[in-house]
Structure 1
Amino acid sequence: MAAILTTDHLPGRTILHNNREYLFFSGTSYLGIPQNTEFQQLLIESLSRYGTMFGSSRNGNLRLSIYEEAERQIAALTGAEAALTLSSGMMAGQVVANYLRAQQYSFLYGPCTHPALWHEPTVDLPTLSFVDWTDRLPDLLTITGHAVIAVNSIDAVRSEAYPFDWVNQLPTDQPITLVVDDSHGLGVLREAGSGIWQQIPRRPNVRLIVTASLAKAMGLPGGVVFSDAETIAAIQHTAFFGACSPIPPAYLDAFRKAETIYTQARIRLTQNIALAERLLLPTGLFRQAAGYPVFYTEWDELYPFLLENGIFIYSFAYPTPADKANTRIVISAFHEPEDINRLAACIYELR
């Protein structure tokens, strides 16, 4: 089992453990928003107006306008017609799964679909590759009635981008709801971090719903659902959503004022990814989806070696302790070029 470190502060470029400093290349703070002092100052100002939490249902008889304002802004970022925020990415997925399950639709899951989209506590996920699974979809869709297809937008663990051209091959005589978890693409991939929404082909009989955690690149303690306005309104009117605690409003207020901060962070992240691609990919050790800040390797021995050399990377079993450990390097906007150069030098030394 990989060595586990414990610390008492938020990781940034570095972490401290037993009075030793380690470079930090893990986590999912791709844009470094939680560590960004300018964003922290915006949040402090917002906390003075909105407090730490809004202790009420979003469907109550007193409503805060900041929710609708922020949801319009984040929907515009992706190109979606409407958006709905919740207290976590897990809740965003589950409010959709609960809504669709109530319609008694049939569910089909792609490989490695995130548990946030599961409509039961456990589901049997296909063991095929994503491409092989999509090739079989026409045969799988022989079920009658409305079908739900639930997939991830990217394999975030193994840094593999998923294609979506297969949507054009779906049957045209069957109602289908396509649900895509874009937790690791939103804020990072495509122009302005718009994510997967505009990349998925549209079909008249296919309704699209995209869910995402806001706790990754966006640095907010919440989740979001994107879809057409009618579907978003229907989800908002469910008992499940009405019973959910909302995302703390101060974070959405800070988000609305932080457009420049996000833009600058994406520029820094893009530069850091480009440097890491130039230095790490020629080793032949890593797999990486173009433009994505995760470099996956089958070489699990990399973790203890780098740890000895003062560099901490991601290496643990996911999503359950029974799964195989996976090892990856995560690049963030808070890294400096010398951090990435030092990381690469250690890897070349081991090679």
Structure 2
Amino acid sequence: MANKVYTDQLPGRTLVVNGEEFLFFSGTSYLGIPVNEQFRNCVLEGMARYGTNYSSSRNSNLQLRVFEEAEDYLATYTGSEAAFTMSSGYLAGQALVQTLQGSGYFIYAPNTHPALWRSTADEVIGDYDAWVGPMLEQVQGSKEEHIILVCNSLDPLKARNHGFSWLSALPTDKQITLVVDDSHGFGVTGEDGAGIFAQLKARLQPNVRLVVASSMGKALGIPAGMVLGDKALIDKLRHSHYFGGASPAIPAYLYAFLRCETVFKEARQKLFSNIEYFLKHLEHPAQFSYFDRYPVFGVHEHRLAAYLQERGVIISSFRYPTPADDPITRVILSSAHTEGDIQRITGLINEFVKV
């Protein structure tokens, strides 16, 4: 595992540490949006119109149209009936699960993000695939009328795409709500980066209600969170104290989001090209865990992180979920990387295998 580094600079494709420049293959900015000049210009346009922040309640007698415009766009874009935005993915997730609290029996998948916990008692550590069978038995044998299943859409730490083949095995005689955290997929996966909502919706029986919560701050670089679902649920969220009591998303960023569809699309295509280029130049791709068109590559040999850092390349490597656990080491690509950057890291990885 590599040593921790400290910097005062926002990382993009590179990072400066104590005056030394490193290539940076870490973080969750998959589309490189925070360092995208076109996006930054749109944010500045938004700030010229709305200022740096909107310090008011969404229930105020003054209503900014950009909130409704962004939520209508998100619903159309993802194929959901309605959408709801807040100032962060964590807050959006909390608003959702606390609103659902008391309406049904919760079952959590392993490693579900804390944004969707009602309390720390909801933490489950384990293997997703091993969870599926017992979960189905529990749902089928339960006397509860309403079951609320909570899980992630994928595992960005182990670079695994969660299978949802088990949806067809859910009982049809119970009310089931499926809550999915798509924070690490939204903007990258799905048709035009629209995430997992439409894919899952097409596979569900009528008795299963789908709700997707997500940060918009990963791939899309928007400091906001969202919930996608049916109109009845979204209306209930709008009447919660979370909606009225919390500051909303920064309007300037929603303004930029609505005007940067082409920017996101071009960045997504560049990301897919970088993924393809990375795999093409690896001599032993089997040393990584990864799945199709996703920019995270799990590293089996943790010594690679220190080896690369000594040679001017920083990748993601830290112990998770606690300092006592085994390290999670990954190479993470972004749209900001050049072919030269990728040639550099793949060359070093190929050398490492021979050491």
State whether TM-score is above 0.5: yes
TM-score (norm 1): 0.96
Equivalences for residues 243-322 of structure 1 within 5 A: 243-280=245-282, 282-322=284-324
The AA in structure 1 aligned to 2:37 is: T
Instruction: Provide closer, same or farther for how the CA distance between residues 55 and 325 of structure 1 changes in structure 2, counting only shifts above 3 A.
Output: same
2:134 corresponds in structure 1 to 136
Structure 2 unaligned segments of length 5 or more: list them: none
The AA in structure 1 aligned to 2:69 is: E
- Name the SS of the counterpart of 2:228 in structure 1: strand
CA distance in 2, matches of 1:269, 1:126: 31
CA distance in 1, matches of 2:306, 2:236: 50
CA drift at 1:140: 1.2
CA distance in 2, matches of 1:324, 1:217: 27
1:71 corresponds in structure 2 to 71
- Name the SS of the counterpart of 1:9 in structure 2: coil
Task: Give the RMSD, CA atoms, in angstroms.
Answer: 1.4
1:209 corresponds in structure 2 to 211
CA contact (8 A) 2:2 2:309 kept: no
Instruction: Provide closer, same or farther for how the CA distance between residues 223 and 323 of structure 1 changes in structure 2, counting only shifts above 3 A.
Output: farther
2:179 corresponds in structure 1 to 179
1:323 corresponds in structure 2 to 325
CA distance in 2, matches of 1:132, 1:145: 25
1:10 corresponds in structure 2 to 10
CA drift at 1:38: 0.9
The AA in structure 2 aligned to 1:257 is: R
CA distance in 1, matches of 2:10, 2:123: 36
CA distance in 1, matches of 2:10, 2:225: 21
Instruction: Provide closer, same or farther for how the CA distance between residues 208 and 251 of structure 1 changes in structure 2, counting only shifts above 3 A.
Output: same
CA contact (8 A) 1:7 1:17 kept: yes
CA distance in 2, matches of 1:101, 1:68: 26
CA drift at 1:228: 1.0
- Name the SS of the counterpart of 1:107 in structure 2: strand
The AA in structure 1 aligned to 2:61 is: N
Is residue 196 from structure 1 mapped to residue 196 from structure 2 by the alignment?
Answer: yes
TM-score (norm 2): 0.95
- Name the SS of the counterpart of 1:284 in structure 2: helix
Instruction: Provide closer, same or farther for how the CA distance between residues 54 and 319 of structure 1 changes in structure 2, counting only shifts above 3 A.
Output: farther
CA distance in 2, matches of 1:250, 1:318: 34
CA distance in 1, matches of 2:320, 2:82: 32
1:61 corresponds in structure 2 to 61
CA distance in 2, matches of 1:264, 1:126: 37
CA drift at 1:124: 4.3
Equivalences for residues 117-132 of structure 1 within 5 A: 117-125=116-124, 127=126, 129-132=127-130
CA distance in 2, matches of 1:294, 1:283: 13
CA contact (8 A) 1:109 1:126 kept: no
Please give the per-residue CA displacement for 1:277-328, whole angstroms capped at 9, x wherever unaligned.
2233734210002111000012110111000000000001234434322000
CA contact (8 A) 2:284 2:350 kept: no
CA contact (8 A) 2:182 2:214 kept: yes
The AA in structure 2 aligned to 1:94 is: Q
Structure 1 unaligned segments of length 5 or more: list them: none
The number of equivalent residue pairs is 349
- Name the SS of the counterpart of 1:34 in structure 2: helix
CA drift at 1:93: 1.0
CA contact (8 A) 1:31 1:265 kept: yes
2:114 corresponds in structure 1 to 115
CA contact (8 A) 2:114 2:123 kept: no
CA distance in 2, matches of 1:124, 1:256: 35
Please give the per-residue CA displacement for 1:115-150, whole angstroms capped at 9, x wherever unaligned.
1111113324152x3233222223211331211100
CA contact (8 A) 2:70 2:258 kept: yes
CA distance in 2, matches of 1:124, 1:92: 18
Instruction: Provide closer, same or farther for how the CA distance between residues 257 and 304 of structure 1 changes in structure 2, counting only shifts above 3 A.
Output: same
- Name the SS of the counterpart of 2:213 in structure 1: strand
The AA in structure 2 aligned to 1:73 is: Y
Please give the per-residue CA displacement for 1:63-102, whole angstroms capped at 9, x wherever unaligned.
1110010111122221111111111111111111101114
2:155 corresponds in structure 1 to 155
CA drift at 1:163: 1.3
The AA in structure 2 aligned to 1:136 is: P
